[in-house]
Amino acid sequence: MKRDGDALDLRLEAARGRTLVEESRESVVVLDDEGLVIAASARARESLEGVEDGRPLPEGLLSGELALVVPYEVDGRRERLVYLSRPGDLTAYEELRAGFTASVSHELRTPLARLLVLLDSAALPGADVDALLEQARAEVGQIRELIDDVLFLSELETGREVVALGTTAVLPTAREALDELAGSADRAGIRLEASGDEEAEIEVRPRLVRVVARNLAENAIRYAGTGATLRIRVERQDGSVLLEASDDGQGVAAEDLPRLFERFYRADRARSSRGTGLGLAIVKHIVASAGGEVEASGALGRGLTIRCVFPAKR
């Protein structure tokens, strides 16, 4: 019995090892003592030409600073674990990290500066302290919202927030999100509607579907303009599920459309908004992590439409 248990343990360890290599987000390759590939991550096979089981790595991949080699020995067999990168990967990552840090710092400075002005004003003779404190609370709320969005986006990107964990009926969940925003929409003079296929389901956590719908609605509430209507529509299309948010508000200039999903990007008319600039970036990340696609269309004075296409429930 012990021998059977040992064999099972070995099979489990082997399966874990294969999964760790195969599903790694990095380009990882395992080489035998002759330099032949015996295992490789999906990313390595997709991004590096010539990485194939049973063949040597293409010339040049093991040279320079593009490869980190970890030699090890298992039961007398010498093998190497190789982490590979493409030229510019590290530089691009560092630039992205530095840019993101600078953007967060900039976005925090604005509400902090306003908060300090309000607190200084409250100390002046004859100041309306209650009104100033109410404005200060709003600035604190803005800071908290930004921090929450930054942390949430970080969770998504590090894999701590599993996207495809559970099945969700999209339209009822979207309606819940709109109901939560009814007060904000009324104050902004925005009408919210939801319609479509009640049975359409996707393999995404309910919380994240709610986040997508909420962020799409908040984008319209902040930027569409008084009197606009946001319509969320859900329907099944050839093995996929469409979640579309379309408003008839102020719209977006053509040159701004490709950048709407960038972190902290705002069109000129929206720069004074109290939004965090991360809402649509979060939408894109959730949709992409679920294997879907997102796109924006519209024009100035003709509203904005954002289409999120998810794989349907299998």
User: How far, in Å, CA of 150 to CA of 96, rounded?
Assistant: 14
Question: Pick from 56, 84, 112: which residue ends a domain?
Answer: 84
In a domain, 134, yes or no: yes
Residue 163 located in a structural domain: no
> What residues contact 216, with CB distance under 8 A and at least 6 apart?
230, 232, 243, 245, 283, 306, 308
Residues 228 and 271 in one domain: yes
Q: pTM of whole model > 0.75?
A: no
- Confidence (pLDDT) at 103: 53
* Residue range(s) defining the domain that contains residue 10: 2-84
Q: Which residues of the chain have pLDDT under 50?
A: 1-2, 65, 87-88, 90-93, 95-96, 268-272
CATH code for position 152:
1.10.287.130
Domain end marker among 84, 109, 136: 84
Answer whether 203's CB lies under 8 Å from 239's CB.
no
Same domain, yes or no, for 243 and 307?
yes
* 235 shares a domain with 307: yes
Specify if 242 maps to a domain.
Answer: yes
172 and 154, same structural domain? no
Query: Does residue 133 share a domain with residue 37?
Result: no
**Does residue 96 sit in the same domain as residue 71?**
no
Instruction: Say whether both 44 and 146 belong to one domain.
Output: no
Of 32, 57, 84, the last residue of a domain is 84
Based on the fold, state whether residues 206 and 261 are members of the same structural domain.
Answer: yes
Whether 121 and 178 share a structural domain: no
Domain count, the chain: 3
Residues 122, 73 share a domain: no
Which long-range CB contacts under 8 A does 55-63 form with residues at least 24 apart? 57/29, 57/31, 57/82
Asked if residue 173 and residue 304 are part of one domain, the reply reads yes
Q: Do residues 42 and 127 share a domain?
A: no
